[in-house]
Structures are given as C-alpha cells and as structure tokens.
C-alpha cells in the first residue's frame, strides 16, 4: 500500500522469467544456504499475514518478497553504467521498506551485464552494479551485514535475444532472498 | 542381499564426502610423459654427422605482412622395421606409421602455409627408403619437399620415431630428428616432426607440440554449463577437468604445464583457483572474501596476476605462486583488470575504464608508469602480449567485436577478423597464430577459431561441444 510500484514499461515482463532462471541457476544447485530455511526459523505465516499476500508464499521466500515489491526486486542499468537513476531509486526504496519490515531476512544482490561486453570486464561490471544497489540500500538503513553481493557478468541472461531490448533487460541487479 | 542397501548407502556417502567431487573436479590428468631426443641415422651419416647441413631457415623469415607460400610437401606413411603390436595402435606399428603421417599432414595443411599431400594418396616407402629416398618416385608428384619417417617399437614398449625432411629437386636431406616416447604420447612425436618441418621451412619458432586450455559449453543460453577442458593444439587428447556443477571460466596454463589458473563459482562466488594438473587438486589464489577474476601467469611462472573487486572496485594484484602477500598494482576508481606480461617480464599490458571506456594501458611490472596506448575511437579489451614481444593482440570493440593486433606502443593497428562477436585472443607459442572464440548472434553458440597474422588464414577448431575462453600454452618441454 505504501509501496511504490512505479517502473518504466520496458522493464516489465522479466519477473516471471527471472524467477525461474534463479530457481534453476546452475551455481545454486547444491548450495545449502539457498534452500528455504526450516519452518521453525520463520514466524508462522498465519499469525502475521502480510497485507499484499494473505494466502501466498511464506516470509523468507523469494515469492513473498516479489509479491510485496513487484517489479521492484530488480533494477536496470544503461550500457556500461552502474549509477542508480530515479526509477532504480524508487525500486530500491520499495525493497528497503520490505527489508525494514522483515529485519530477520538476509539477501543476495546479483549483478549482471549484457552479452555485448568482454567476459572479464562484465564480471567486474556486475560487481559494480551489485555494490551500487547495496550501497543505496545501506544508505536507506538496511544493515550491510544482511546483504551479500555476487556478480555473474554475462553468464546468466534472462532475455535471450541479441538486440538492444534484450540487452536492456539483462543489465540488472536482482535482489534474491536468502532466508 | 542384505548388504546391498548398506553398500549403496556407503557408496553414496563416499561420493558425497569425496573432496574432489565437492569441488566440481573430475579425475586428475596426471603428469605427462617425457619426450626424449635421440640421435637417428641419416643417408650418409658418417660423412655428414655433425656437418653444417642445418645452416638456418631455407626460405627466409616470414614477416607479418607477407602471405604464406604454397609449398608442396609429400608426407607418405612412416615405415616400420617390423610390424609389431603397440598400445599406441590396435593394428600395430605399421598402422601407427600411417596415423603419424596423417597427423603431420593435418597440422601442416591447417595453417595455410603449405600444400601437403598425406599418406592416404601416396605410396608407402619401405624402411630402408626412409634414409635413402627413391627420389625418382617423388618427382612429378608436385611435391618440392618430402617427409619420411619411421616408427619402431623398442623392447621396453617405448616407441622410437624418426623424422626426415628431404628436398626433392636437390635430392638432399634438409634436417632429421628422432624421439623416444611412451606409446600414449605417440601424437607428440608427430607434433615434434611437424614442428621440425615448420621451423626448417619458415625460419619461425615451432608451435604444434603445445596444449590448449579452454571452457567447454553446453546447455541453453540462460543456463550454460561451463567446464574446464584441455586438448592438444590440434584438438586431440581432449579431457574435461571439471564436472560442470559449477561454472568455470577463463583458464590459463602455467608456463611449465603443471598448473591451470581458472575462475570457478564452486563456492557460489567467482574466485580464482590454482589447479594442479598432476594431483587434480586445487587451491584459492588468495585467501580473501572478495571475488577474484582474470588470472594470468608471469612468463617465468613465479607470479600470478589477478584482479579483485573490493566494494565493487576492481584492481590488479600480483602474488607469488608460492603464496604470501599480494601487491596491488593499480589504484584508480575505474575497473582495472586482466594484464599480460611482456615476454621479458618487465611490463604489463592491461585494461582499464578509468577514462570512461575500456582502453588498453601499459605499466612497468611494479605498477609504475601507467599510460594509455589505445586511442583509435573504439574500445580495447583483453590485451595479450605476443610471446615474441612485438605485438599486442586484443578484442577491438567498435560496433562488433573483432580480434586485432597493434604494436606495444599502440600503433599499426590491424583488424584480423570480422565476426559479430570475436573475443579473447590467445597467442600460439611462436607468436604467429592467434586463437579466439566467436559467439553467434541470438543463439549464443560459441566456438574456437584461429587466424594467422595476415588475417587471411582463418579456420574453426573442432571441439566436442561449444567452446570459449581458449588459452594456448607454450611449446612443451
């Protein structure tokens, strides 16, 4: 209700793809820290239902986060840039409010680049983007210890075509709930 | 029957607790065999042994700009003194002699220099003819050069391979050499013979007896499986070194082939590992929680360059291969990354976007005297210093991505390829050929290619699956 959902149009429609890509991400295959936590660690969902998702996914899941913030779980960048523009700022404010409401949650920010860059440079660029998003969230009051960053460079695109529209969707920093 | 579930459980537990498996590592490759030089008999060995026959290159030095010549070379099957069984070939040493000649023919054909004719369309010389060619049989076949050789199974199971190069018109031996190899290393003898011929005829340094580390790719574009793999310079003896559960990227062979530096996401973060080829074990390049990327060796193999992102800012560091303290070489707020040493180890060419876009810079090996060398309008990425020192190859980004070369001062820029996305050049050991990987638009398929310095002789390297990030090692000892 107080959340801001404003986001520019071309960034739409990536969320569903993104969610499944994350779930299938090769690197998360065996990593135990990415599994959902045991139920004892989370408040009983029925006891504290969230206004936006009364019967949806539990707190501590990516689904719950995305139900709450909508498209704002991902921010996008211009070619070779890593600055936070006004729409990124609005999205990160929505994320910050969510993380303020659920202070027990930790999360990872994945930095990504489009395919039109060399591999190593893109890994460094993804680092920059993830850290830009992290620094902005920290400036909004999210504790830095709650935020892990990781760069995937151009290794994990969500839009698979080779055109400017697809590249714009792949230049992103995505927040992923750990627990 | 009762023990079966227990054994299954035990096997499962063992599989889980296997530390190599947990690190995404496959079976170790083991240490390679040694190729031993051996003196072999020639046509008139008594009078010519130690003579001044090998008095330098036959046809002068091939320069960057000159096209290769079409020199006809006949390469009939290598003979054997007695057809004997060998682990190198199920059909014995005679069949092996045919195979060796095929490998040499493919090597010499695939580089655009020569016009070789292989054993499948030539008569096979007898064993005595190897040191006394029947020149009359070879005149009129369009071959100016004739390669002869033999393979002999020694009592200790090792193979003796002799290699001879004759000038058909002069009816004279130009050079000969012999090697003793384990049966498993028979292809190395074929590569050594190819190198002998190549070096004798061009005056250039050899390059065939070398290996390539690269990344094997499978799976859909948004979830590629990327495994560390190695192969000989001609694609043979292919092996996967990692299992594929963790993304592997950007390998680099150590100068002595004992180790491979590469990036792995095995702990969920991009980190550089030092993989030991003999033992199949790996260690982190530096104990640090920050991500490390873009590993490189110093020419003497004593130091490692790596790039590390601290709070989002990437700089280049150097660490002794034996471990110890890292030295930071760059300190700008931009991305400083990669780095390739000059062959004498005194300077490093690297990539930085401190000016606003990716450009190439040169610095002294201690990090001083950093200066930009590229001003051509596009972007300069992944610079690699030639083993000869006279050129720097790089990814030129100006619309499309192409492989280009320039001098170490940034002058005489020449674009060698014209793919949509050609990336990450790596030099042949002799600095005459460049390998790179090419990615197709939309599909995202990747493959290895090589091109010579004229830009005219370009070809794709066969790999079992898609391939990227090639890294060409030096000539094997």
B145: nearest Cα among B99, B204, B193:
B193
Q: Is B351 on the interface with A (CB under 8 A)?
A: yes
Complex ipTM, two decimals? Answer: 0.89
For B196-290, list the strands marked E by DSSP.
211-218, 225-232, 239-240, 248-253, 259-264, 271-276, 282-284
Contact A151 B401 (CB under 8 A): no
Instruction: Report residue B69's pLDDT band, with 50, 70 and 90 as the boundaries.
Output: low
Residue B367: how many other CB atoms lie within 10 Å: 18
Classify residue B354 as exposed, middle or buried by CB count within 10 Å of its CB (0-12, 13-18, 19+). middle
Contact B312 A27 (CB under 8 A): no
The pLDDT score that the predictor gives to residue B260 is 98
The pLDDT score that the predictor gives to residue B20 is 73
Report whether pLDDT(B187) > 70: yes
Arithmetic mean of pLDDT over chain A: 80
| Number of Cα atoms under 13 Å in the Cβ half of residue B380 | 31
Arithmetic mean of pLDDT over chain B: 90
Contact A123 B291 (CB under 8 A): yes
Shortest CA gap B99–chain A (Å): 39
Contact B335 A33 (CB under 8 A): no
Share of chain B above pLDDT 90, in %: 80
Closest-CA residue of A relative to B291 is A150
Whole-angstrom distance, CA of residue B293 vs CA of residue B312: 13
B408-413: long-range contacts, CB 8 A cutoff, minimum separation 24: B408/B342, B408/B347, B408/B349, B408/B362, B408/B373, B409/B373, B410/B360, B410/B373, B410/B374, B410/B375, B413/B376
Digit-coded pLDDT (tens) for B134-161: 998 898 787 899 999 999 999 898 999 9
Whole-angstrom distance, CA of residue B55 vs CA of residue B242: 47
Q: DSSP assignment, residue A179?
A: -
Instruction: Report residue A142's pLDDT band, with 50, 70 and 90 as the boundaries.
Output: very high
Name residues whose C-beta falls within 8 Å of residue B201's C-beta, 6 or more positions apart in sequence: B57, B58, B59, B71, B113, B114, B145, B165
The pLDDT score that the predictor gives to residue B54 is 40
Contact B247 A157 (CB under 8 A): no
Whole-angstrom distance, CA of residue B356 vs CA of residue B311: 19
Sheet containing strand B239-240, strands side by side: B239-240, B225-232, B211-218, B466-472
Classify residue B343 as exposed, middle or buried by CB count within 10 Å of its CB (0-12, 13-18, 19+). middle
Whole-angstrom distance, CA of residue B313 vs CA of residue B333: 6
- Predicted TM-score (pTM) of this structure: 0.85
With DSSP H G I counted as helix, E B as strand and the rest as coil, what are the percentages for chain A, rounded to 5?
45, 10, 40
Contact A118 B401 (CB under 8 A): yes
* Weakest mean pLDDT among A32-41, A143-152, B174-183: A32-41
Whole-angstrom distance, CA of residue B97 vs CA of residue B162: 11
The pLDDT score that the predictor gives to residue B43 is 66
Report whether pLDDT(A6) > 70: no
Contact B353 A118 (CB under 8 A): no
Name the residue facing A27 among B219, B268, B469 (closest C-beta): B268
A87: nearest Cα among A108, A65, A72:
A72
Name residues whose C-beta falls within 8 Å of residue B21's C-beta, 6 or more positions apart in sequence: B15, B243
Q: Which residue has the higher pLDDT, A144 or B137?
A: A144
Name the residue facing B337 among A124, A155, A156 (closest C-beta): A124
The pLDDT score that the predictor gives to residue B34 is 83
The pLDDT score that the predictor gives to residue A3 is 40
Find chain A residues with C-beta within 8 A of B272's C-beta.
Answer: none
Q: Is B342 on the interface with A (CB under 8 A)?
A: no
Report whether pLDDT(B363) > 60: yes
């Amino acid at each position: 209700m107080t959340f801001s959902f404003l986001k520019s149009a071309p960034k739409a429609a990536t969320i569903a793809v993104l969610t499944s890509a994350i779930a299938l991400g090769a690197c998360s295959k065996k990593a135990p820290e990415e599994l959902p936590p045991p139920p004892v660690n989370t408040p009983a969902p029925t006891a504290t239902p969230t206004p936006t998702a009364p019967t949806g996914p539990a707190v501590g899941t990516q689904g719950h986060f995305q139900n709450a913030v909508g498209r704002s779980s991902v921010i996008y960048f211009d070619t070779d840039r890593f600055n936070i523009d006004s729409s990124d700022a609005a999205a990160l404010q929505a994320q910050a409010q969510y993380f303020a409401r659920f202070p027990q949650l930790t999360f990872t920010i994945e930095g990504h680049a489009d395919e039109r860059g060399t591999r190593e440079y893109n890994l460094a660029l993804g680092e920059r983007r993830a850290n830009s998003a992290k620094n902005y969230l920290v400036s909004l009051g999210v504790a830095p210890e709650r935020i892990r960053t990781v760069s995937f460079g151009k290794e994990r695109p969500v839009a698979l075509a080779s055109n400017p529209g697809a590249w714009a969707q792949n230049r992103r920093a995505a927040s992923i709930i750990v627990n | 029957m009762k023990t079966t579930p227990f054994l299954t459980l035990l096997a499962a537990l063992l599989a889980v607790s296997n530390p190599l498996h947990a690190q995404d590592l496959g079976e170790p490759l083991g240490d390679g065999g040694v190729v031993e030089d051996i003196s072999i008999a020639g046509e008139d060995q008594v009078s010519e042994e130690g003579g001044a026959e090998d008095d330098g290159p036959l046809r002068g030095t091939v320069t960057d700009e000159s096209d290769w010549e079409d020199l006809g070379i006949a390469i009939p099957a290598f003979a054997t003194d007695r057809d004997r069984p060998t682990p190198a070939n199920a059909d014995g040493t005679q069949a092996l002699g045919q195979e060796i000649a095929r490998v040499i023919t493919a090597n010499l054909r695939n580089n655009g220099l020569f016009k070789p004719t292989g054993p499948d369309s030539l008569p096979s010389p007898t064993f005595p003819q190897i040191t006394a060619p029947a020149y009359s049989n070879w005149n009129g076949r369009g071959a100016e050069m004739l390669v002869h050789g033999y393979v002999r199974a020694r009592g200790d199971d090792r193979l003796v391979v002799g290699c001879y190069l004759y000038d058909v018109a002069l009816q004279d031996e130009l050079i000969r050499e012999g090697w003793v190899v384990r049966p498993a290393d028979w292809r190395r003898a074929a590569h050594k013979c190819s190198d002998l011929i190549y070096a004798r005829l061009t005056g250039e340094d050899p390059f065939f007896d070398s290996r390539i580390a690269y990344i094997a790719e499978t799976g859909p574009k948004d979830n590629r499986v990327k495994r560390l793999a190695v192969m000989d310079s001609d694609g043979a003896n292919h092996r996967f070194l990692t299992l594929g559960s963790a993304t592997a990227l950007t390998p680099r062979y150590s100068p002595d082939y004992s180790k491979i530096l590469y990036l792995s996401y095995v702990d969920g973060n991009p980190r550089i590992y030092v993989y030991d080829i003999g033992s199949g074990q790996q260690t982190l390049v530096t104990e640090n929680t920050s991500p490390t990327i873009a590993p490189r060796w110093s020419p003497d193999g004593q130091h490692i360059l790596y790039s590390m992102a601290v709070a989002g800012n990437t700089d280049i560091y150097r660490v002794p291969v034996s471990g110890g303290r890292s030295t930071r070489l760059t300190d700008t707020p931009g991305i400083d990354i990669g780095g390739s040493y000059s062959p004498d180890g005194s300077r490093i060419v690297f990539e930085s976007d401190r000016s606003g876009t990716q450009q190439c810079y040169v610095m002294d090996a201690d990090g001083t005297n950093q200066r930009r060398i590229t001003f051509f309008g596009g972007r300069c990425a992944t610079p690699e210093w030639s083993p000869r020192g006279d050129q720097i190859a790089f990814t030129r980004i100006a619309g499309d991505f192409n492989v280009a070369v320039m001098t170490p001062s940034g002058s005489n820029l020449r674009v060698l390829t014209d793919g949509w996305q050609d990336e990450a050049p790596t030099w042949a050991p002799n600095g005459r050929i460049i390998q790179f990987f090419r990615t197709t638009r939309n599909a995202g398929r990747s493959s290895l290619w090589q091109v010579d310095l004229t830009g005219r002789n370009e070809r794709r390297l066969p790999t079992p699956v898609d391939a990227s990030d090639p890294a060409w090692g030096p000539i094997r000892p």
